[in-house]
Amino acid sequence: MIKSKGLFWSYEKSLSYAQEVDPLLAEMVLQYGSIEELKALFRLYDVSWLEQVWQRTLARDSRLDSLNQFLSKFFFGMRWNGNREYARFT
């Protein structure tokens, strides 16, 4: 998906993109992206896939509690239960 959207470029036209690039891009944008970059990320990728990446890479990191509470509430429709546990709004 990244290659077709032109998100990464290379001088070498035949350079192949590893499948690991998509999760890495998602993780970096989730962690460091601006609001506009986050919105663009959620337009490019399925929310459930982004949630899986977030859960696997960022959600349990205590250094990112504020960021994770923000992402969980405004992008994944979840609330923080403490101890880095998240639940869907009901």
Q: Of 7-11, 28-32, 79-83, where does the model show the most confidence?
A: 28-32
In a domain, 70, yes or no: yes
Instruction: Report the distance separating Cα 2 and Cα 49, nearest Å.
Output: 15
Q: How many distinct structural domains can be found in the chain?
A: 1
In a domain, 9, yes or no: no
* pTM of the complete model: 0.75
Domain containing 48 equals 19-88
Angle between helices 21-32 and 47-57 (to 10 degrees): 80
Alpha helical stretches, state H, 1-90? 2-5, 21-32, 35-44, 47-57, 65-74
The residue written with tokens 């890495």 in the block is 24
In a domain, 1, yes or no: no
- Take residue 74 and report the two structure tokens written for it: 């405004």
What confidence tens digit (pLDDT) does each residue in 5-16 have?
A: 555 555 555 555
In a domain, 10, yes or no: no
